[in-house]
Structure 1
Amino acid sequence: MAHIDRLTVYPVKGLDGIDCDTASILEGGTLESDREFALFDADGDVINGKRTDRVHDLETGFDPETTTLTVAPPDGDSLAFDLESAAGRERAADWFSDYFGLEVTLERDRSLGYVDRREMGPSVISTATLREVASWFDDADLTVDSVRRRMRANVEVGGVEPFWEDRFVGEEAPAFEAGDTTLEGVTPCGRCVVPQRDPETGETLEGFRARFLERREATFPDWADEDAFDHYYTLMVIMRIPETDRGGALAVGDSITSTDESASSSDFDDGHTQQVR
């Protein structure tokens, strides 16, 4: 049965995510703690993995109960910053300024977060999709967890076939319900340079984009609406949570059902044979 298998939020945009058992839905339609904080330079531009591969040299953690960010730099002792206080955020900004060699501020948005698509909500991908993509790079020993960290989705769905999430975008696409929450597909997620890099080292995997494009086109599902995709360098779907469902929560283990009454139970069977072109 389709279900939420994993929930991940990224408290500081561009840094490591944390897994959680439940995630409250904010008034802006995003998940609590997701991209709640972000680093900006003096021109107001965000600092993240798209901009610099130096983020990969940092191992970070976050405690949502204490709002404490821990940072382990490649050389040196771990540090802890209390992001609840203005003084703690300023201290963290000073450290990141030294690390990146830029004048940096650390900003906070508690109602929406600094998600890229501020009118949208959580990102969704299936475990089977991650597994499929990892198989495209088996000669490079790419693991499912490595692909997971490269793609940085919020909601991971188990019990379904590869690219299951693609069915939820397009003119006549259904939505799905996870527990008591409706999620409506908005757009496929076009990928940037980050998925090409090893999340541990920042090293670029040679030929990643070309092979990804080739295999994504070859395995693109017949049942997906191709018109909803501008190109094949996409993976995962950005969803929207209706205002009426905001204030609720998603939880690991929540069952998932399509709002399309014509969808058969086999649509959510991990053993379903996917048609390819």
Structure 2
Amino acid sequence: MNKNFSFIILTFNEEIHLPRLLESIKGLSAKTYVLDSGSTDDTVKIAASYGAEVKTNPFVNHPKQWDHALRNFNVDTPWTIGLDADQLVTPELFKILNEFDDEKYVDVSGIYFNRRNYFQGHWIRYGGYYPFYLLKMFRTGNGYSDLNENMDHRFIVTGKTTIWKKGYLIEENLKENNIDFWFKKHERYSDLIAEEEMERVKGVRYQSTKPRLFGEPNERKAWFKNLWWKLPLGLRPYLYFSYRMIFQLGVFDGKTGRRFHYLQGLWFRKLVDQKIKELRRVRD
């Protein structure tokens, strides 16, 4: 059994994704924990067949689900790796993990993985989507889930972090090949984000990470979020979409990629702003 790290995975009806992920990490011989949200397909059976320890917990949002996972699994390795079910470890990242030497990271608390995101079979290479660094590996007991987020989830650590730029995760939600699934999912997400922004205005939520434009990836994201919240509702989706398509070269992502940037970068952001305006009218 791997003595360096363990995996935690969140699932909900992931029979289409979970075998792909578990196969990609099987050779690492690492203890694997799965927190399921009440799947009605074969997700739990698949997890058990790979030797994973499975627990269930009702889903509220991703940050709270990750918090529950970190608090309720007895991880006994120095490092924990948190993955989403629609991700998989590439051979390049597998090699880095397989050769991981804890002694070389004695002063490090967290490690960022690079990610390649795919939409309907197409790699989203531009528009700010690659390289894209996610803090996925952290010292057990140090990393925690940022509960000041209502939809996006991120891990936070105390101490130094480092970035692995060469190996990367692949993230591809095959359910999104059905565009109706994508729309329904983002309808739910828009409600969570609109509510979150309203709570930030009231001071109920705040940034857990110090915003720094030239800081580590989580700090840069916090800086851009601070900027985003200051922009006018209704206008900011167009500013963001233009920035993504022109300055971040999203226009070169091909037909499928451009559709993704439109849906995720403009349509979805406009929907969020509309729902914020509705909440304001109801509550004022």
Bin of the TM-score, shorter chain as denominator length: under 0.3
* Structure with the largest fraction of helix: 2
If the length of structure 1 is used for normalisation, what is the TM-score?
A: 0.27
If the length of structure 2 is used for normalisation, what is the TM-score?
A: 0.27
RCO higher in structure (CA 8 A, sep ≥6): 1
